[in-house]
Amino acid sequence: MFCYQCQETAKGTGCTIKGVCGKSDDVSNLQDLLIYILKGIAVFRAPIVSNDTTIVKIDNFIINNLFATITNANFSKADFVQRIKDAIELRKEIKAIFDIQGLKIENLPDAAIWTSDKESDFDEKAKETGVLETENEDVRSLRELIVYGIKGIAAYTHHASVLGYKDENINLFIANALSATLNDDLSVEDLITLVMRCGKCGVDALALLDKANTETYGHPEISNVNIGVRNNPAILISGHDLKDMEELLKQTENTGVDVYTHSEMLPANYYPAFKKYEHFVGNYGNAWWKQVEEFEKFNGPVLMTTNCIVTPKDTYKDRVYITGVVGFDDLKKIENRKDGNAKDFSAIIEHARQCQPPTEIETGSITGGFAHNTVAGLATTIADCVKSGAIKKFIVMAGCDGRMKSRDYYTEFAKALPQDNVILTAGCAKYRYNKLDLGSVNGVNRVLDAGQCNDSYSLVVTALKLQEMFGLADINDLPVEYNIAWYEQKAVIVLLALLSLGVKNIHLGPTLPAFVSANVASVLIEKFGIASISGVKEDIEKMTTA
């Protein structure tokens, strides 16, 4: 195996024996083969302009399978074997349409041709389809940057599509970009252009998801979320899937079973459509990597709707349920929706009834719900604060949390920020500082949480709104600094989205991506002023006095 798609990759260079995330060698190889066949499907899909049901099925398949290969989502070998078999079948279907339309491609790539239905062949072929097969380091770096960006786009597009929102242009871009990563004629410059187009498509995907979420569940509202517990049996729901949240809340109503969120599901507490449920108690615990100790103490069953799942301990494994793209052998699976019907959560609800209430690990509340609509409502107050000098800077600290000790930097950074600086956040990065008492400036909270990493669009809208309010020609003239923490591929597309909007001088940490080669890093530094983080003191100095 060779995998370097996330920030926690072994030795900062690549996982080669087993993933730091727990991914086994054979699952990693099968994920490579699956991506390879998806690229082969994309070769036939890209030139077809049509919206017929087979094309819609193919697009959904590509999106679902890209999402399944994202860090910490799916660890099941059997699942990936089945996904590869399905991919090979679907490739035949799309090729048939391609042929009927009279389309032709000289020298079809191997990814569009290679076939087998034997698992043993998959294991062998997988060894030839990995990241290191691209020999030129810069081309490899850019191809992977594009694939990881597309994985992020796929995650957002998947969530939007579950709520019935689609954008044909995003699907077409995914197919074109995937297919382009097989093209040996593309130069480094061509690939850099494609990276930028990927960022632009990322903005569109984020906007689509924002529309889907807010039109379906209302605009997030400023909310004080309880972090204590009640004395009822309960279900803990984690991940990012709001449709699962909706259906679980409906099905648990009047059952005597409470519902709490974990990690990235926290922002569900900000939506009017969910807040109305009396048995929706609040949030339990912290970011994804703390789940082992927190799931243990929760006592009731846990539902993982997307990433990030950590190998569960035997002591609570029987209480973990998975759904959607999540894969993990020996865990109970809640089947996907069929024929427009809701998922059936009766098994997990029944399980909860047999369990003790959660053990209290914290008390009090945390405040969030500062998505773009809320911030727009505070526009005059914020403008007055900036004009009077009460707020000097906004620091965007969105992104992910992770296990590494070096991420203590973000807690220390938040603590050391001068009082006249306000943090804008989204994603699980916020758990590094959302329970500190950082106070407020003239009534404006010093930590404004827009929601999930999926809600990073809100931060973009907020920046554009500020730009308009202050009549600035360039987004970089705003009193906004970017100190972003990344972990997995959704953060990659957020970064590319910001670059495509012209945002410069982003600080990225705790380390720069291993998949960025020295030459690609030089381009990012020269063109966009991207920098890694250094010490808290120097960075505060740099960002607050710039």
Residue 436: how many CB atoms within 10 A of its CB? 12
> For 470-517, where are the alpha helices, taking DSSP H only?
489-500
4 binds, among ligand SF4, ligand FSO, none (CB under 5 to 8 A by kind): ligand SF4
Cα distances (Å, whole numbers) of residue 149 to 80, 165, 198, 203, 491? 21, 20, 7, 11, 8
Nearby residues of 293 by Cβ (< 8 Å), 6 or more positions away:
none
Question: What x/- string results for residues 244 through 263 when contact with ligand FSO is judged by CB under 6 A?
Answer: -------------------x
Only one of the segments 8-16, 156-164, 373-381, 483-491 lies at the binding site for ligand FSO (rule: CB under 6 A); that segment is 483-491
Judged by CB under 6 A, the residue of 11, 13, 15, 65 near ligand SF4 is: 15
How far is the CA of 537 from the CAs of 23, 413, 544, in angstroms? Answer: 36, 8, 11
Choose between 69 and 157: whose C-beta lies nearer to ligand SF4: 69
> Which one of residues 320, 400, 459, 499 is an interface residue with ligand FSO (CB under 6 A)?
400
> Residue 31 interacts with ligand SF4 (CB under 6 A)?
no
Burial class (CB in 10 A: 0-12, 13-18, 19+), 254: exposed
**Residue 415 DSSP class:** H
- For residue 527, the tally of other CB atoms under 10 A from its CB is 12
456 neighbors 426 (Cβ within 8 angstroms): yes
Interface mask (CB under 6 A) for ligand SF4, residues 52-71, using x and -?
-------------------x
**Residue 327 binds ligand SF4 (CB under 6 A):** no
Are 205 and 156 in contact, with CB atoms under 8 Å apart? yes
Task: Choose the contact partner of 288 out of ligand SF4, ligand FSO, none; CB within 5 to 8 A by kind.
Answer: ligand FSO
Tokens 């187009």 belong to 197
Would you say 369 or 402 has its CB closer to ligand FSO? Answer: 402
Of 45 and 507, CB closest to ligand FSO: 507
Rounded CA gap, 25 and 8, in Å?
16
Does 488 participate in binding ligand FSO (rule CB under 6 A)?
yes
Region of 13-21, 162-170, 272-280, 323-331 interacting with ligand SF4 (CB under 6 A): 13-21
Number of chain residues interacting with ligand FSO (CB under 6 A)? 14
Tokens for 527? 């063109």
- Does position 308 interact with ligand FSO (CB under 6 A)? The reply is yes
The reply on whether position 5 binds ligand SF4 by CB under 6 A is: yes
Footprint of ligand SF4 on this chain (CB under 6 A)?
3-6, 8-9, 15, 19-21, 23, 28, 71
Footprint of ligand FSO on this chain (CB under 6 A)?
263-264, 288, 307-308, 400, 427-428, 452-453, 487-488, 490-491
